[in-house]
């Protein structure tokens, strides 16, 4: 009987790497660095001036509407643009004065809850909110009511003294004006904004002071929860903040008709026969000895140089090899 063979035993030894626990430490280290960076930013903000704090807070609240608080100009020349405290103070005084004048008039005092004046990053915003029965405009019409005319005349008396530009907006609620495609809420909101503009200018507002008239129809509802809220029907007058709070004086556009640049000159590339090089070439002689007439083809296109022909022939010969 053959002897049984001994079983073969395979012993595997696992090599260890001391101190190696994978890459989890990298995540923990990144979290630690991020937390430290956030801590330093908070400490920097706590030690900053009030102007910087307002600028940072305004940016996170409205990134697009706070460009005039801090930062640089769009051209990137590094010039610091800070908020004009003098202009802000002027707008605050105007707000207080308008509110006092509205309360002083009995007819407008009853409508004080429908006249909202706020100071935003864009400037002073004056909103005329409609009531159920049509406070400033007749229902479904662009005709101003007596209350609307009186309020706009009062506003014009103060706005005409400012150097700031004005922007007018017209808004409606979600109720459609009519089923006629030729006149909808878009036309109604535009007509109401233009009616307010005309009355402001009739009472002293400069023609170039109103720079924009916008119509939004029901696209920018004040009360989105209730699209049919009468407060969504409103006229907005925005006293805009310009550069440094004051609108710069723009130089008038030159009269193009009287400008010497208005008469186009013929291009030398379009008319090669009139180029100085063509006049500088001497006339060729005919076989009879007299000067020959220049050919039409020579006048239209300059002759090719011999060097160019030689180079072209060498390229053709190289390609045919």
- Verify that 236 and 122 share a domain, yes or no: yes
Phi, psi of 301 (to 5 degrees): -135, 135
* Domain assignment of residue 34, given as a range: 28-61
Residue 16 lies in a domain: no
pLDDT at 50: 85
Please tell me whether residues 35 and 108 are part of one structural domain. no
What are the Cα distances from residue 186, in Å, to 200, 219, 224, 235?
A: 21, 10, 18, 13
- Closest C-alpha to 91, from 202, 242, 200: 242
Please report whether residue 271 resides in a domain: no
Residue 103 included in any domain:
yes
The token pair at 60 is 């996170």
Domain boundary among 245, 260, 284: 245
Query: Considering the domain boundaries, does residue 274 fall inside one?
Result: no
Same domain, 98 and 50: no
- Dihedral sign for Cα atoms in the order 227, 230, 233, 236: negative
Is there a single domain that holds both residue 108 and residue 200? yes
Give yes or no: residues 137 and 237 share one domain. yes
Q: Looking at the domain assignment, is residue 313 inside a domain?
A: no
pTM over 0.85: no
The pLDDT of residue 16: 58
Res 52: pLDDT: 84
Same domain as 105, residue 52: no
In a domain, residue 229? The reply is yes
Residue 221 and residue 179 share a domain: yes
Total domains, the chain: 2
79 within some domain: no
Do 126 and 115 meet the contact criterion of CB atoms below 8 Å apart? yes
- State whether 38 and 140 are in the same domain: no
**Of 219, 245, 271, at which residue does a domain stop?**
245
Cα-only R_g, the chain: 39
Q: Which of 202, 220, 245 corresponds to the end of one domain? A: 245
- Which run of H or of E encompasses 103? helix 85-104
Tens of pLDDT along the chain (321 residues) come to 556 777 888 877 766 555 556 778 898 999 999 999 999 988 988 888 888 888 888 777 766 654 454 444 443 333 333 445 677 788 888 888 888 888 888 777 778 888 899 988 888 999 999 887 778 887 778 889 888 999 999 999 989 988 889 999 999 988 887 777 788 889 999 999 999 999 999 999 998 999 999 999 989 898 889 999 888 999 999 998 854 344 334 334 444 344 444 444 444 444 444 444 434 444 444 444 444 444 444 444 444 444 445 666 666 666 665
Tell me whether residue 18 is in a domain.
Answer: no
CATH number reported for the structural domain that contains residue 129 in this entry: 3.30.1330.60
- Pairing, β 234-240 against β 166-171: antiparallel
Q: Tell me, yes or no, whether 186 and 94 share the same domain.
A: yes
State how far the Cα of 83 lies from the Cα of 99, in Å rounded to an integer: 24
């Amino acid at each position: 009987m053959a002897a049984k063979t001994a079983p073969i035993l395979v012993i595997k030894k696992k090599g260890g790497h001391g101190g190696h626990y994978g890459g989890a430490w990298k995540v923990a280290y990144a979290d630690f660095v991020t937390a430290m960076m956030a801590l330093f930013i908070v400490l920097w903000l706590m030690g900053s001036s009030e102007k910087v704090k307002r600028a940072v807070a305004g940016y996170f609240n409205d990134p697009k509407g706070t460009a005039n608080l801090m930062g640089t100009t769009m051209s990137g020349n590094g010039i610091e643009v800070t908020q004009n405290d003098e202009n802000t103070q002027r707008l605050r005084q105007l707000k207080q004065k308008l509110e006092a004048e509205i309360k002083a008039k009995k007819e407008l005092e009853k409508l004080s809850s429908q006249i909202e004046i706020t100071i935003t990053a864009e400037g002073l915003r004056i909103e005329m909110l409609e009531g159920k029965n049509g406070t400033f405009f007749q229902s479904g019409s662009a005709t101003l009511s007596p209350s609307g005319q009186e309020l706009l005349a009062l506003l014009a008396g103060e706005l005409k003294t400012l150097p700031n530009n004005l922007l007018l907006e017209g808004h409606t609620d979600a109720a459609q004006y009519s089923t006629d495609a030729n006149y909808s809420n878009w036309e109604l909101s535009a007509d109401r904004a233009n009616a307010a503009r005309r009355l402001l200018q009739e009472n002293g507002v400069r023609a170039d002071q109103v720079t924009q008239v916008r119509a939004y129809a029901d696209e920018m509802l004040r009360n989105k929860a209730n699209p049919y809220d009468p407060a969504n029907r409103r006229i907005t007058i925005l006293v805009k903040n310009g550069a440094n709070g004051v609108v710069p004086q723009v130089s008038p556009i030159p009269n193009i008709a009287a400008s010497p640049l208005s008469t186009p000159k013929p291009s030398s590339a379009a008319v090669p026969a009139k180029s100085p090089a063509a006049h500088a070439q001497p006339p060729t002689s005919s076989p009879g000895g007299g000067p020959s007439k220049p050919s039409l083809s020579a006048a239209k296109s300059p002759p090719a140089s011999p060097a160019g022909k030689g180079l072209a022939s060498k390229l053709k010969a190289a390609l045919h090899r």
